[in-house]
């Protein structure tokens, strides 16, 4: 691991322990060149995943891209960041444990929607509006009606 202070290509691990959620390993490191100390968080990756897009194009799975889309859906929502991180970790673990190295993007999208629905209704609808490509207000109304999220008329 390259030192962030001097750029030296090697560092020594002084301490390792699992993160609180168990999805990463926290390592305290020391640079033998400048004696700088720094921490890294290393995620355990079970297997390399490839996402197959609707167009048939393939691209490597990127946890950061998944996290970015979830954070956008939950922007300005009263959801604890810790719960968001736990949800993202759970989604990644489910994808990695499926046994397939190639997954259709629809599997990822549906899994995210399932988890968001349990976490926050507004974030769920925001994500669904992009994922399902809503174009008209009727698309929202139809979706809300199907999902039982629309307020019932009295």
Within 8 A by CB and 6+ apart from 61, the residues are 48, 49, 50, 51, 95, 103, 108
Segment 75-85, tens digit of pLDDT: 999 999 999 99
pTM (2 d.p.): 0.69
Choice among 11-15, 20-24, 40-44 with the minimum mean pLDDT: 20-24
Within 10 angstroms of residue 52's Cβ, the number of other Cβ atoms is 15
* Nearest one of 124, 45, 54 to 87, comparing CA atoms: 124
Tokens at 90, concatenated: 């759970």
Q: How confident is the model at residue 152 (pLDDT cuts 50, 70, 90)?
A: very low
Q: How confident is the model at residue 46 (pLDDT cuts 50, 70, 90)?
A: low
Most confident option among 17-31, 88-102, 137-151: 88-102
Within 10 angstroms of residue 120's Cβ, the number of other Cβ atoms is 20
Within 8 A by CB and 6+ apart from 57, the residues are none
């Amino acid at each position: 691991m390259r030192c962030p202070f001097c750029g030296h290509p090697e560092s020594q691990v002084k301490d390792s322990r699992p993160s609180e959620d168990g999805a990463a390993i926290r390592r305290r490191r020391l640079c033998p060149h400048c004696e700088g100390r720094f921490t890294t968080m290393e995620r355990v990756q079970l297997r390399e995943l490839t996402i197959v897009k609707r167009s048939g194009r393939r691209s490597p799975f990127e946890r950061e891209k998944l996290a970015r889309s979830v954070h956008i859906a939950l922007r300005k929502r009263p959801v604890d960041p810790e719960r968001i991180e736990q949800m993202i970790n759970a989604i990644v673990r489910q994808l990695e444990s499926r046994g397939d190295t190639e997954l259709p993007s629809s599997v990822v999208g549906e899994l995210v929607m399932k988890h968001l629905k349990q976490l926050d209704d507004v974030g769920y609808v925001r994500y669904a509006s992009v994922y399902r490509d809503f174009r008209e207000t009727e698309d929202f109304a139809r979706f809300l009606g199907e999902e039982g999220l629309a307020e019932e008329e009295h």
